[in-house]
Amino acid sequence: MPIKPDLKLMQAAIDVAVLNKTPFGAVLAMGDEIFVTAANQTKSLSDPTAHAELLAIRKLAGHLQKTDLSGFTLYTTCEPCPMCMSAAIWAKVDGIIYGCSIGAISEFMDQINVRSEYMNKFALKQVKITGGFMENECYNLLRWYS
The site for Zn ion (CB under 5 A) is made up of: 51, 81, 83-84
Query: What is the nearest approach in angstroms of Zn ion to the Cβ of residue 141?
Result: 15
Query: What is the nearest approach in angstroms of Zn ion to the Cβ of residue 1?
Result: 27
Sequence-distant (≥ 6) Cβ neighbours of residue 104 within 8 angstroms: 78, 135, 139, 142
Q: Which one, 9 or 56, has the nearer CB to Zn ion?
A: 56
d(CA 141, CA 146): 8
Q: Which one, 30 or 83, has the nearer CB to Zn ion?
A: 83
d(CA 30, CA 42): 26
Q: Which one, 32 or 80, has the nearer CB to Zn ion?
A: 80
Neighbours of 142 (CB within 10 A): 21
Residue 53 annotated among the catalytic residues of the structure: yes
DSSP-derived pairing of the beta strands 25-30 and 73-78:
antiparallel
Q: Which of 53, 79, 117, 137 is catalytic?
A: 53
DSSP tag of 80: P
Query: What is the nearest approach in angstroms of Zn ion to the Cβ of residue 140?
Result: 20
Q: Which residues are catalytic?
A: 53
